[in-house]
């Protein structure tokens, strides 16, 4: 039996939920994710397992081995006779085909998690306004259904909501560089808008990632995760009995660590990759998790979920504004109240895209050698930092006992500040070197991040010799 969505388009979180609801063996996703599709761009075939999450390494390794033994394949000349825009059941030979309304199914799932009546009352306030930028990805139909039909907001809330195979010529990556329409609308661009919405969010191409903005205010993904974990039990009915645990990817800032410690919630640190979260969820060890790369989600599915994150924030704002007649508590107010309680993790990520794989490998081999030889001479001129340890992150999965090696170079200072390097080869061309810089402060809460982090950035570039080895004078994207 094959299950497809009316119109064929589904978001990645929707696919995950549908696999779980139908108790399917798995799901095949044809996706360009946040890269344009087509023969000249980055298009992929992805397999999710029966739990709804990305297939684990044991499965993908086996698929790869079997793929090398394929001798022939057959393609049918017949075309199934069914309407792909009409819900119903059809036959194709011995195969059953079920066409479902995936958008409605996803909306129903969200209504079981969140208090839609409470959110609807909040978003109807005259002093509240928002925009949601689908960036011409598959989030559009889901946004119009939930924010428009279910929550009663004006259609103008949904920007770039028509899915396009080339994403309208844009690059649907929800960050400050590529989500330029939203950035300008929210008053963070070069153009100064007279009217700026109170809340803004963006999705990537397959709608599993999110960016959260307030009026002229950017919320880092790491802070967003920490705030959702802090407020979940209080604001989201699905978590009314508390959290089983929380987790972050290793490069994500330690902001959520302080929340977990205060609330006595078990914390997990895993490599980058949602499958590691999925294993913990399947073992009943995890409720909410996130990555610094704009991915946030919970155990309702086994993928990150961009619309879920937006509804989580709307729930938090609705709760903060529960008293009628009071001045609006906005996104910036919520974030600054969080910093006042837990301190602030200043954080930035530099992406050096389009590096040659040879340069990337040379860079990391050089850093591994320096760690092995304890060569940290570059740190001598930065007396404010004392090295606690340098290593390469390795993760032993407590659920399936698999070991993930070479998951990132880490330099950790005694005050908790961190310098991290990761090499990613998932782009359409070459490799991407990612450098993460983090510094914690309990009381200095209003510094400009670029200024607060400059000494660590300068040290990281000098110690790694990144510019010389990669030939890159500066990052492609700064988050």
CA gap 197, 214 in Å, rounded: 8
Angle between helices 357-372 and 449-464 (to 10 degrees): 90
CA gap 366, 372 in Å, rounded: 10
Within 8 A by CB and 6+ apart from 333, the residues are: 320
Q: Which two tokens stand for residue 78?
A: 């017949």
24 class by beta-carbon count within 10 Å (0-12 exposed, 13-18 middle, 19+ buried): middle
Quickly list H helices, 114-177.
116-123, 139-143
Q: Which two tokens stand for residue 273?
A: 């990759």
Which residue, 127, 200, 136, is CA-closest to 173?
136
Number of H helices, E strands in the chain: 14, 22
CA gap 324, 326 in Å, rounded: 6
Q: What is the dihedral of CA 214, 218, 224, 230, to 10 degrees?
A: -60
Helix (H) or strand (E) holding 259: helix 255-263
| pTM of the entire predicted model | 0.91
Q: Phi/psi of residue 444, each to 5°? A: -85, 90
Would you state the pLDDT for residue 428? 45
CA gap 247, 266 in Å, rounded: 8
- Upper half-sphere CA count for residue 103 (Cβ side, 13 Å): 19
Q: Are 379 and 357 in contact, with CB atoms under 8 Å apart?
A: no
One pLDDT digit (tens) per residue for the chain, 479 residues: 999 999 888 999 999 999 999 999 999 998 876 556 666 666 778 899 999 998 887 888 899 999 999 999 998 888 877 777 889 999 888 889 999 999 999 999 999 999 999 999 999 999 999 999 999 999 999 999 999 999 999 999 999 999 998 888 888 889 888 899 899 999 998 877 779 999 999 999 999 999 999 999 999 999 999 999 999 999 999 999 999 999 999 999 999 999 999 999 999 999 998 889 999 999 999 999 999 999 999 999 999 999 999 999 999 999 999 998 899 999 999 999 999 999 999 999 999 988 998 999 999 999 999 999 999 999 999 988 999 999 999 999 888 888 889 999 999 999 889 999 999 864 445 789 999 999 999 989 999 999 999 999 999 999 999 999 999 999 988 88
Q: Are 278 and 402 in contact, with CB atoms under 8 Å apart?
A: no
Would you state the pLDDT for residue 38? 62
> Could you give the C-alpha distances from 101 to 98, 106, 310, 389, 452, in angstroms and in order?
10, 9, 22, 52, 49
CA gap 204, 33 in Å, rounded: 7
Quickly list H helices, 83-217.
102-113, 116-123, 139-143, 180-185
CA gap 176, 478 in Å, rounded: 8
Which residues, in sequence order, are bridge partners of residue 31?
44
Q: Phi/psi of residue 68, each to 5°? A: -75, -10
CA gap 1, 291 in Å, rounded: 34
Q: How many CB atoms lie within 10 A of CB 411?
A: 25
- Upper half-sphere CA count for residue 135 (Cβ side, 13 Å): 31
Would you state the pLDDT for residue 427? 46
Catalytic site positions: 33
Q: How many CB atoms lie within 10 A of CB 167?
A: 23
Would you state the pLDDT for residue 366? 96
CA gap 334, 317 in Å, rounded: 8
Which residue, 331, 318, 353, is CA-closest to 424?
353
Q: Are 224 and 212 in contact, with CB atoms under 8 Å apart?
A: yes
226-265: burial string, b at 16+ Cβ within 10 Å, e else = bbbbbbbbebbebbeeebbbbbbbbbbbbbbbbbbeeeeb
């Amino acid at each position: 039996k094959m299950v497809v969505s009316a119109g064929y388009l589904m978001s990645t979180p929707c696919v995950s939920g549908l696999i779980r609801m139908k108790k399917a063996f798995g799901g095949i996703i044809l996706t360009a994710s946040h890269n344009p599709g087509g023969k000249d761009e980055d298009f992929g075939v992805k397999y999710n397992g029966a739990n709804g999450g990305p297939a684990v390494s044991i499965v993908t390794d086996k698929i790869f081995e079997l793929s090398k033994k394929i001798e022939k394949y057959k393609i049918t000349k017949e075309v199934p006779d069914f309407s792909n825009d009409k819900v119903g059941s059809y036959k194709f030979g011995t195969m059953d085909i079920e066409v479902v309304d995936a958008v409605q199914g996803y909306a129903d799932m969200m209504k079981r998690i969140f208090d839609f009546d409470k959110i609807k009352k909040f978003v109807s306030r005259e002093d509240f306004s928002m925009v949601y930028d689908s960036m011409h990805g598959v989030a559009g139909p889901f946004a119009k259904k939930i924010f428009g039909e279910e929550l009663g907001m004006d259609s103008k809330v949904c920007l770039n909501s028509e899915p396009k195979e080339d994403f309208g010529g844009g690059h649907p990556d929800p960050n400050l560089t590529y989500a330029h329409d939203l950035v300008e609308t929210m008053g963070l661009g070069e153009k100064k808008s007279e009217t700026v919405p109170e809340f803004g969010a963006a999705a990537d191409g397959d709608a599993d990632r999110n960016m959260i903005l307030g009026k002229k205010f950017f919320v880092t993904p790491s802070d967003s995760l920490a705030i959702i974990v802090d407020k979940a039990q209080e604001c989201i009915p699905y978590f009314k009995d508390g959290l089983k645990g929380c987790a972050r990817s290793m490069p994500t800032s330690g902001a959520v660590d302080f929340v977990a410690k205060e609330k006595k919630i078990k914390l997990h640190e895993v490599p980058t990759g949602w499958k590691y979260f999925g294993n913990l969820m399947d073992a009943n060890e995890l409720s909410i998790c996130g990555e610094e790369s704009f991915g946030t989600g919970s155990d309702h599915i086994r993928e990150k979920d961009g619309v879920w994150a937006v509804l989580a924030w709307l729930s938090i704002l609705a709760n903060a504004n529960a008293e009628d007649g009071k001045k609006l508590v906005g996104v910036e107010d919520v974030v600054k109240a969080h910093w006042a309680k837990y301190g602030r993790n200043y954080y930035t990520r530099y992406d050096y895209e389009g590096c040659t794989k040879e340069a990337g490998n040379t860079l990391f081999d050089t850093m591994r050698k320096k760690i092995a030889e304890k060569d940290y001479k570059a740190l001598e001129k930065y007396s404010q930092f004392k090295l606690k340890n340098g290593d390469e992150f390795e993760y032993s999965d407590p659920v399936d006992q698999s070991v993930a090696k070479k998951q990132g170079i880490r330099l950790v200072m005694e005050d908790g500040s961190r310098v991290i390097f990761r090499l990613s080869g998932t782009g359409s061309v070459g490799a991407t070197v990612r450098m993460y810089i983090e510094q914690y402060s309990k009381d200095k809460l209003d510094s400009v991040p670029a200024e607060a982090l400059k000494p660590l950035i300068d040290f990281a570039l000098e110690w790694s010799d990144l510019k010389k080895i990669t030939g890159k004078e500066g990052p492609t994207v700064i988050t």
